[in-house]
A and B are shown apart, each in its own frame.
Chain A
Amino acid sequence: MSVISYRQALHDALREEMLRDEDVFLIGEEIGLFEGSYKITAGMLEEFGPRRVRDTPIAEEGFTGAAIGAAMVGLRPVVEIMTINFSLLALDQIVNHAAKIYGMFGGQARVPMVIRTPGGGGQQLGATHSQNIELYYAFVPGMKVVAPSTPADAKALMLAAIRDDDPVLVLENLALYNTTGEVPDNVQPAEIGRAKIARPGTDITVVSYSRMATVAVQAAERLAAEGIDVEVIDLMSLRPLDRDTIIESVKKTSCAVILEDDWLTYGIGAEIAATISDGAFDWLDAPVRRVAMAEVPMPYAKSLELAALPSLDDAVNAIRETLDAVARRR
């Protein structure tokens, strides 16, 4: 067991898989000589050479599609898309091709490809560089989308993603790269498609993923001091979605708050809320509450950016207000 950063955990997972399997290679913009915009691939070009750490032109559609075409004949490319915002330039290749090829050709070609890409705002990068649009990919059958919030999960999910025979989008997060956590010495691949109970509790269910899952745990810790016992579910996988874990928890607590970094309308939280309505309607003692980003193009000015992003205080307040509503009901 050692304490390492989320960045290091991702790096270690990539390196271990590169050493384990000659078919694994890295491809993307500035991942070699520049060592990655966020330095996940630092040292990789030197260790593995340009054949396996392939710097590309600025051509997201071209190189993402090339990775798919390489995967179709058995290689296991790991594509870095510098931020999830730029994945929009590759949308046709991801949605119309990577996600379709296995089914559309009757199971004859697999696409064992990973797309790693960070979402996240809060860096004063403005409207085009601060989005959380993982929903676009989580919407599509054929895709698998995972969203780790801790270094240990980042490593375990990356290992699983690389060994999976389907296209897997690994959602990283700019604000998580420098966070640290305990990572076991011999991490095994996680099972994609399973949520985890990040913190067991009995009073209220908080459902979240990626950066907001860390906020959820912080909110739970703050409220524990007041005697409120929060259960935190970290989704880990956005597609497939582990609905049963959510429903089981809500049947125990009878109330739920969802924390998400994306926009509220049609967002991931909307699907979670609908799931709770489907599976635990009769157990609910208060409306399901969502904490989500303000519905604006992200502003640059720090004061406005802070106002648009969901905060720890927002999470704590939403949990308190939901528990107040429960108390009135009972």
Chain B
Amino acid sequence: MSTTKPKVARASTRSATAGTPTKQSPPSGISVTEAQELAFYRQMVLVRRFEERAARAYTEAKVGGYCHLNLGEEATVAGLTAALEAGDYLYTNYREHGYALARGIAPGRLMAELYGRQDGVSRGWGGSMHMFDVEARFMGGYGIVGGQVPLATGTALAIDYRGGAEAVVCLMGDGTTNIGAFHESLNIAALWNLPIVYVVNNNGLGMGTTVEQSSAEPELYKRAASYRMASARVDGNDPAAVYEAMRVALASARNGKPYLLETMTGRMKGHSVVDPARYRSREEAEALKAADPIAAYAVRLHEHGVLTDDLIAQVDAEAMSTVADAVAFADASPHPDVSTLFDYTYATPVPNDSRRLPGEALYPAAPRPVLSEVSA
């Protein structure tokens, strides 16, 4: 082994100058085409109807476990996903159904996953919190708060390692910005100039705790300053604003300058389907309802002549029909066969891996050897 000291120390194949100033205002000059506006609206309505149907299925006990919905987050879902290229990777958290839908995964496969069926997007192994689709480069919902943040950073490292042109988008909630892995990952991404955009969806609440109660710097995008990382805060109820902000962020990331984008939204319901959100005042709940991003966007597009009453009804009917088909698909999909229980422990087969069911003995009760056969 050599003991001479190497001369090289920097790692990244990208170049980026340190000290990128932090951007503190949303991008100006938002302009998207009418077709794009209509596409946003359709996407938002589909997410809304899918999530409402998921909630119903949950109360019907068709869906188990936890079930966190994107209700109120539809504009961010639509704007964020529209800005992605096909080759980009998207990591999310456990509130991910809408992002998976908008990434183009068949609604039936998503509903089947909620139903815990064989044709589910994760073959019934993940459930609501762990949807994954390798084809769509939808790299997972994650049930542990912030678990996806180091992983996403590593996928950006792999892109950098291979000199690829793709980028990674890593979505998280406001509460995630207080965990250690968030800070470790932003530091690493900035240090190594990785092609990644961290998106903090700030809906004001981590379960029942407000951002102000949990974060000493409640303007979360400012946390990027610790890593000399560019960042911005944007109105997450405006899909066009999110889209434009994401395009800026992604361009930066592809240029070796990771970015932190904070999208300001509201969570219309409780933390999960079963949470009645009693920690909220009636006024708060009313205000959220009044700020419903879909209703507001419909009014705006109606005023601009992009939407008509007929079109609104048509978009809604289409979404309802898509969701009904998804439910039918999920209902028809078989429950995973018990014989597949040990199929996904290891990717590389290995001798002596356990395939024991709970009630089975490790070894059958052995006959006592005849004493005369035991050599003394």
Contacts and interface: CB of A to CB of B under 8 A. Distances in A.
Residues of A in contact with B, size category: 35 or more
B147 A97 contact: yes
A65 B150 contact: yes
A4 B157 CA distance: 35
A74 B121 CA distance: 21
Contact of B2 (A42, A49, A92, A191): A42
Contacts of A61: 150, 180-181, 184
Nearest to A278: B362
A328 interface: no
A107 B347 contact: yes
B261 to A, nearest CB: 20
A93 B158 contact: no
A63 interface: yes
B9 A50 contact: yes
Contacts of A66: 150-151, 153-154, 157, 185, 188
Interface in A66-97: 66-75, 77, 92-93, 96-97
Contacts of B343: 107
Contacts of B345: 102-103, 141-142
B267 interface: no
B347 A165 contact: yes
Contacts of A33: 5-6, 9
Contact of B352 (A45, A96, A240): A240
Interface SS of chain B: loop
Contact of A50 (B8, B123, B157, B348): B8
A146 to B, nearest CB: 11
Contacts of B357: none
B147 A96 contact: yes
A233 to B, nearest CB: 13
B353 interface: yes
A39 B1 contact: yes
Contacts of B191: 57
B143 to A, nearest CB: 8
Interface in B185-232: 185, 187-188, 191
B122 interface: yes
24 contacts: A43-B2, A43-B3, A43-B4, A46-B4, A61-B181, A62-B153, A62-B184, A65-B153, A65-B154, A66-B153, A66-B185, A70-B155, A72-B151, A74-B158, A93-B150, A105-B132, A165-B347, A165-B348, A166-B350, A240-B351, A240-B353, A279-B363, A282-B369, A283-B369
